[in-house]
Amino acid sequence: MKISSGKILSLGAIAVVVVALGVSFLTPPASAQLGSKELVNPPEIRSDPAKKRLREVIELVNGQFKIPGVETTQLRQFRGRNAKPEVPAGTISPGPTLRARLGDQIQIAFLNKTDRTMFPFTYVTGRDKPPPPPFSSLGCDKSGLPDGNGKFPYPAADIYPNCFHGSTTANIHYHGTHTSPDGLGDNVLVQVLPDDKQRDWIPIFNKIFDTGKIPQTWEDLPQDLRDAQLDLVKKRDAEEKAENLKNDLPEPESMLKANLERIAAHQWPQYFIGAFPNIFDLPDYSSGKVDAGQAPGTHWYHAHKHGSTSLHIRNGLAGALIIESSQEGGYDHFIRKAFGWGDRYEKHEKILIFQQYDPIQNLERPSRRGGKGSNQVLVNGQLTPTITMRPGEVQLWRMINATEGNAAGIINAGNFKNGLFQTTGFTFVQTAQDGVQFSPLNYVNQPFLNCKIPNGAIPPDDPVPNGLILAAANRADLLVKAPATAQNARIPFNSQGVTLFFVKVEGEPVADQSFPDTWMEMPKFLQDLPKPGPHDITNPGSPVKFQWEKDRTGTGPNPDPPHFMINKKQFGETGPIVDQCMPKDGLQDWVLENYTTQIAHPFHIHINPFQIVEMFSPMLDKTYTPKDNYIWEDVIAIPPAKIGDDGKVIPGRVIIRQKYPDFTGTFVLHCHILAHEDRGMMQLVRIVPREKYPTGCQDHPPAHH
Amino acid sequence: MARIRITRDAGGNVSFETVAVVPTDTVFFINLDTQAEHQPDLISNKLGKSPSPPSSSAQPDPSGTKSQVVYKCLIAGHGNESGTINIFPQLTATNQKLAAATKGQPIAQQQVVKGGMSPYQISNEVFEVVDAAGNVLQSGPGIGPGLQLVPTPNNKGVFVKGTPTVSGTYHFTFEVDDGMQKNLQQVQYSMIVT
């Protein structure tokens, strides 16, 4: 397949070339694609503009759900209690879309109502006695038949906690938010255990929510909530201990003991039973109260329990978090005004959440390969749905790669590969990446669509050298304009030759819709970060090296799968140690390096986005060094390494620039191929007050994962 | 994937479920018997008392040749406890390009879905008949004028039969869920009728 044609998209005086492929789907059969249903945006709940808050109950439930084209099977799902429309029983869907505005407060009652008897072989705590590190494989999920030495095909050589485990436990990560990582904020170190017969927590949570004040410490929570939770943890401890003794297993770690130790140290406990309230603000830069605001845009949320992030994402435990601008001139106000869409996007907006649904991990299959569900990508839980557009119509597509990132043949090594935006007759312009709007220059130059960025794992002989690639967890907003005339057939939008969805162009043409010639200026806090100077504290943890054990660079078992590491260490391997510590308001450049071949590891860090200052792909022998207008992202696929002629590893490299305003706290960075994260490719990160740097870096880091 | 739940009723009788799977499926044993541990001989590791560790998943027939596997409990005193895993071929589409037919003439019955397990539930049938230029002559629910789908009651798949009544190319699709709850949908079939 060769690049056969180009299309000129005029944006003012500057031409943008969008590469087009000459492929067979240009004249699809008239019948394509019978049975394809209209794409449905996920259920949604909006913030209350009068109260400036978004309040919702998100329930984690399990049951029999149909994966289109695969089977009806036991899955876990997020459901919004008040989001509309309701998802029909037995139908898979992303979680409810949460739509808020800058300045709103997010108030989510998260209820884990999983029936744990349906998933009984998955522990949340280690089983070694006494608790190390290092742990053994005790505590890891096991599958398959043990060999003569009692070794199971899974976990093979994996070691707790860096193995698949604890899938009945969950939490919610609000990916892309600039908020507190501690307490009731974007806290992924909290572990909410299942309780399918739980009490009604909503009244007690609402007592917190109604005040609008975010509890800063455990002691700020209502006494009845604290008492009830500690009592439940104590009871769960006793149950787990009894079960273990009944089955001749070592006594598990005590969750109550761990909680009480944390509380005594004036830290937040990590274990909750059945329910957890998330409450945090979406800081509005225009308020003048913050040093950096929340970027308005397409963000998302997903479960983030270490050991089960990948299985949870395969269950579809993710949803969109749309944060809109708060005033004229802001991102959403500008776009809607440009097209006369009024105060809401309504039918002009499509949310496309790409997911793989599979109830089982690849490594837990006898073949260690993905099943049918792993190898098909659904959009909003639908198999190859259809988007309908009128001729000449413009829509805003918000695209979220919520896959695990390793579907062979469709998403290679964490990336959506090219194809989607090369469909003849349509024109596209990207307006944001990872929920951060483009600068005017990037809007005009379109660096992703015009193949300027060596993003991800692109082999040298790939027919298309680059283009818009969504690594796992990347988002992109695009304005899409339909062809000027109606089309007989649905047009397939493909990735790697596989159709993800169709577009049907029919009805009366829409006149005079064209992309804006000029683009909005960046808010001040999203303008280029300055280069760190001699007075800025450098990061001793840089470069951040994504790697396997020594002398291992290629993929595949040997005979066991490799250990996933950052800087020669798996997550928590040496105990509760903060791996990366930064001073509040610090400004730093980090080097990210990938020492594995064939796989681009998508680097993700919570709480603050970063700017891409430089990228180098050794496979392409291509370097991206923009002079300015650095693109903001919160996930960047680090290009894979290459073995040089001398046998030495030439790592893929990215340089990011980031600042740490507004919030202190403890969180994580990790590979967003979530099976890699579960299996150790993660670091504990902390921002401390400047006066406590570095003395406060190792002050009671969370020990339990 | 299938789950096999081992339960004990009020009379003390232990029940081992019967399930149906395809050869590549993994089965999970869930021991809900709080009084006893079990060790189905499909897996050599012990299922402890409820909820039982450690591993309980296995592929019923790694050889891929059997149509049925009977599993028993190996623990003394549980020897009579057994269950059955029936193994069926994968549910797959076949004959997407059906043999050409003549308007008004009955067609030879042709298979469109093979494998899987009865009963086959058909839904979301939709068709188009187009002329040589691709213009849609007729469209709607069903698989086309004069044609019907015939799900078999004996695990033999789904067939198409009937007498086409319109000249053109029939395009149709449908959704099928079988007795194992496997699903096929959006498979495109076509038949030229002259």
Query: Using CA atoms, how far apart are residues A490 and A503, in angstroms rounded to an integer?
Result: 5
- In the prediction, which pLDDT does B36 show? 82
Is A557 part of a structural domain of the chain? yes
Q: What are phi and psi of A669, to 5 degrees?
A: -125, 155
For strand A44-46 and strand A271-273, is the pairing parallel, antiparallel, or unpaired? unpaired
Q: How distant is the Cα of A699 from the closest Cα of chain B, in angstroms?
A: 36
Query: Using CA atoms, how far apart are residues B155 and B179, in angstroms rounded to an integer?
Result: 9
Give the model confidence (pLDDT) of A485-513 as tens digits.
998 888 888 776 678 899 999 999 998 88
Q: List B residues 3-32 in contact with A (Cβ-Cβ < 8 A).
A: 3, 24, 26, 28, 30-32
Which of the residues B55, B139, B181 would you substitute to probe the A interface, choosing the one with the greatest number of A C-beta atoms within 10 Å?
B55
Q: How distant is the Cα of A72 from the closest Cα of chain B, in angstroms?
A: 5
- Looking at the fold, whether A628 and A576 belong to one and the same domain comes out as yes
Q: What are phi and psi of A318, to 5 degrees?
A: -155, 155
Domain termination site, one of A493, A525, A557: A525
Which of chain A's residues have a Cβ under 8 Å away from the Cβ of B57?
Answer: 143-144, 364
**Is B183 in contact with A30 (Cβ distance < 8 A)?**
no
Identity of the residue in A31, A71, A145 whose CB atom sits nearest the CB atom of B188: A31
The DSSP 8-state label assigned to residue A474 in this structure reads -
Query: Using CA atoms, how far apart are residues A253 and B194, in angstroms rounded to an integer?
Result: 74
pLDDT band at B55 (very low <50, low <70, confident <90, very high): low
> Chain A residue closest to B138 (CA)?
A31
Mean pLDDT of chain A: 88
Asked if residue A33 has a cis previous peptide bond (ω within 30° of 0), the answer is yes
- Looking at the fold, whether A408 and A433 belong to one and the same domain comes out as yes
Q: How distant is the Cα of A147 from the closest Cα of chain B, in angstroms?
A: 10
Q: How distant is the Cα of A628 from the closest Cα of chain B, in angstroms?
A: 47
Is A415 part of a structural domain of the chain? yes
Asked if residue A534 has a cis previous peptide bond (ω within 30° of 0), the answer is no
> Chain B residue closest to A367 (CA)?
B24
CB atoms within 10 A of CB A685: 22
Q: Which residues of B45-55 are buried (b: 16+ CB within 10 A; e: fewer)?
A: bbbbbbbbbbb
Concatenating the DSSP letter of every residue in A359-427 gives: SS-GGGSTT-S--TTTT--EETTBSS-EEEE-TT-EEEEEEEE-S-S--TTTEETTEE-TTTT--TT-E
Identity of the residue in B43, B51, B190 whose CB atom sits nearest the CB atom of A120: B51
Cβ atoms of A594 and A455 closer than 8 Å: no
- Looking at the fold, whether A510 and A540 belong to one and the same domain comes out as no
The segment(s) of chain B belonging to CATH 2.60.40.10 are: 92-193
**Is A143 in contact with B26 (Cβ distance < 8 A)?**
yes
Identity of the residue in B52, B135, B183 whose CB atom sits nearest the CB atom of A72: B183
Once rounded to an integer, what is the mean pLDDT over residues B100-107?
Answer: 98
Q: How far is CA A616 from CA A309, A368, A600, A621, A652, in A?
A: 29, 32, 12, 7, 6
- In the prediction, which pLDDT does A7 show? 30
- Looking at the fold, whether A514 and A541 belong to one and the same domain comes out as no
- In the prediction, which pLDDT does A129 show? 61
Identity of the residue in B24, B173, B183 whose CB atom sits nearest the CB atom of A35: B173
Mean pLDDT split into 10-residue runs, chain A, 705 residues = 28 27 34 86 98 98 97 97 97 98 98 90 71 74 80 88 93 98 96 97 97 96 97 95 79 90 93 98 96 97 97 97 96 97 97 93 80 88 96 96 66 43 80 97 89 65 58 92 90 79 94 92 97 97 95 81 95 91 98 92 97 93 93 94 94 97 97 95 97 95 71
Helices and strands per DSSP (H, E), number in chain A: 7, 38
Identity of the residue in B26, B44, B186 whose CB atom sits nearest the CB atom of A360: B26
Query: Using CA atoms, how far apart are residues B143 and A689, in angstroms rounded to an integer?
Result: 68
A21 in helix, strand or coil?
Answer: strand
Cβ atoms of A686 and A666 closer than 8 Å: yes
Q: List B residues 102-121 in contact with A (Cβ-Cβ < 8 A).
A: none
Q: To which H or E segment does residue A635 belong?
A: strand A635-638
A339 in helix, strand or coil?
Answer: helix
Q: Is the CATH number of domain B2-87 2.60.40.420?
A: yes
- Looking at the fold, whether A460 and A413 belong to one and the same domain comes out as yes
Whether residue B134 lies within 8 A of chain A, CB to CB, comes out as yes
**Is B26 in contact with A116 (Cβ distance < 8 A)?**
no
Q: How far is CA A466 from CA A294, A452, A456, A639, in A?
A: 30, 7, 9, 12
Identity of the residue in A30, A72, A141 whose CB atom sits nearest the CB atom of B134: A30
- In the prediction, which pLDDT does A484 show? 93
> Chain A residue closest to B177 (CA)?
A71
**Is B190 in contact with A247 (Cβ distance < 8 A)?**
no
**Is A31 in contact with B183 (Cβ distance < 8 A)?**
no
- Looking at the fold, whether A405 and A443 belong to one and the same domain comes out as yes
Lookup result for tokens 């939008």: A493
Sign of CA dihedral B141, B146, B151, B156: negative
Concatenating the DSSP letter of every residue in A660-702 gives: --S--EEEEEEESSHHHHHTT-EEEEEEE-GGGTTTTTTSS--
Q: Which of A424, A419, A386, A397 is nearest to A506 (CA)?
A: A386
pLDDT of B99 higher than 80: yes
Instruction: Give the number of C-alpha atoms closer than 13 A to the C-alpha of residue A301, restricted to the C-beta side.
Output: 27
- Those residues whose C-beta lies under 8 Å from the C-beta of residue A515, and which sit 6 or more positions away, are A9, A11, A394, A427, A429, A479, A481
Asked if residue A559 has a cis previous peptide bond (ω within 30° of 0), the answer is yes
Is A136 part of a structural domain of the chain? no
Which of chain B's residues have a Cβ under 8 Å away from the Cβ of A146?
Answer: 44-45, 55
Whether residue B182 lies within 8 A of chain A, CB to CB, comes out as yes
Identity of the residue in B50, B57, B181 whose CB atom sits nearest the CB atom of A72: B181
- In the prediction, which pLDDT does B175 show? 98
- Looking at the fold, whether A469 and A599 belong to one and the same domain comes out as no
Q: How distant is the Cα of A122 from the closest Cα of chain B, in angstroms?
A: 8
Q: What are phi and psi of A337, to 5 degrees?
A: -70, -40
Predicted model pTM: 0.94
What is chain B's percent helix, strand, coil content, to nearest 5? 0, 45, 55
- Looking at the fold, whether A486 and A559 belong to one and the same domain comes out as no
- In the prediction, which pLDDT does A22 show? 25
Q: At what angle do helices A223-246 and A255-264 cross, to 10 degrees?
A: 140
- In the prediction, which pLDDT does A1 show? 24
Query: Using CA atoms, how far apart are residues B56 and B69, in angstroms rounded to an integer?
Result: 16
Cβ atoms of A310 and A361 closer than 8 Å: yes
**Is A35 in contact with B174 (Cβ distance < 8 A)?**
yes
Q: How distant is the Cα of A251 from the closest Cα of chain B, in angstroms?
A: 13
Cβ atoms of A265 and A259 closer than 8 Å: no
Identity of the residue in B31, B56, B183 whose CB atom sits nearest the CB atom of A71: B183
- In the prediction, which pLDDT does A393 show? 97
Which of chain A's residues have a Cβ under 8 Å away from the Cβ of B172?
Answer: 34
- Looking at the fold, whether A343 and A465 belong to one and the same domain comes out as yes
Q: To which H or E segment does residue A206 belong?
A: helix A202-211
Cβ atoms of A445 and A464 closer than 8 Å: no
**Is A145 in contact with B43 (Cβ distance < 8 A)?**
yes
Taking the CA atoms of chain A, what radius of gyration do you get in angstroms?
Answer: 24
Interface confidence (ipTM) of the complex: 0.95
Give the model confidence (pLDDT) of A5-36 as tens digits.
223 232 332 222 222 222 223 334 444 589 99
Which of chain B's residues have a Cβ under 8 Å away from the Cβ of A141?
Answer: 55
Q: How distant is the Cα of A123 from the closest Cα of chain B, in angstroms?
A: 10
Q: Which of A185, A399, A406 is nearest to A310 (CA)?
A: A406
Q: List B residues 140-169 in contact with A (Cβ-Cβ < 8 A).
A: 169
* Domain containing residue A506: CATH number: 2.60.40.420
Identity of the residue in A35, A70, A246 whose CB atom sits nearest the CB atom of B186: A35
User: Which CATH entry fits the domain spanning B92-193: 2.70.98.10, 2.40.50.140, 2.60.40.10, 3.40.50.2300?
Assistant: 2.60.40.10
Cβ atoms of A60 and A76 closer than 8 Å: yes
Query: Using CA atoms, how far apart are residues A22 and B172, in angstroms rounded to an integer?
Result: 28
Is A264 part of a structural domain of the chain? no
Domain limits at A513?
A: 3-38+328-525
Q: Work out how many domains chain A is built from and give that number.
A: 2
- Looking at the fold, whether A595 and A570 belong to one and the same domain comes out as yes
Domain termination site, one of A502, A525, A548: A525
> Chain B residue closest to A30 (CA)?
B134
Interface A-B: count of C-beta contacts within 8 A: 127
**Is B51 in contact with A366 (Cβ distance < 8 A)?**
no
Domain termination site, one of A474, A491, A525: A525
Tell me, what amino acid is at A403? T
Identity of the residue in B32, B43, B183 whose CB atom sits nearest the CB atom of A69: B183
Q: How far is CA A331 from CA A86, A105, A661, in A?
A: 29, 19, 22
The DSSP 8-state label assigned to residue B142 in this structure reads S
- Looking at the fold, whether A395 and A501 belong to one and the same domain comes out as yes
CB-count burial class (<10 Å; 0-12, 13-18, 19+) for A491: buried
Which of chain B's residues have a Cβ under 8 Å away from the Cβ of A63?
Answer: none
What is chain A's percent helix, strand, coil content, to nearest 5? 15, 30, 55
Q: For A60-111, give the secondary structure using H, E and C.
A: EEEEEEEECCCEEEEEEEEEECCCECCCCCCECCCCCEEEEECCCEEEEEEE
Asked if residue A130 has a cis previous peptide bond (ω within 30° of 0), the answer is yes
**Is A247 in contact with B62 (Cβ distance < 8 A)?**
no
> Chain B residue closest to A118 (CA)?
B30
Is A298 part of a structural domain of the chain? no
Which of chain B's residues have a Cβ under 8 Å away from the Cβ of A121?
Answer: 28, 51-56
- Those residues whose C-beta lies under 8 Å from the C-beta of residue A148, and which sit 6 or more positions away, are none
Q: To which H or E segment does residue A442 belong?
A: helix A440-445
Q: To which H or E segment does residue B169 belong?
A: strand B168-177
Query: Using CA atoms, how far apart are residues A475 and A631, in angstroms rounded to an integer?
Result: 13
Identity of the residue in B124, B136, B177 whose CB atom sits nearest the CB atom of A35: B124
Which of chain B's residues have a Cβ under 8 Å away from the Cβ of A70?
Answer: 182-183
The segment(s) of chain B belonging to CATH 2.60.40.420 are: 2-87
- Looking at the fold, whether A552 and A518 belong to one and the same domain comes out as no
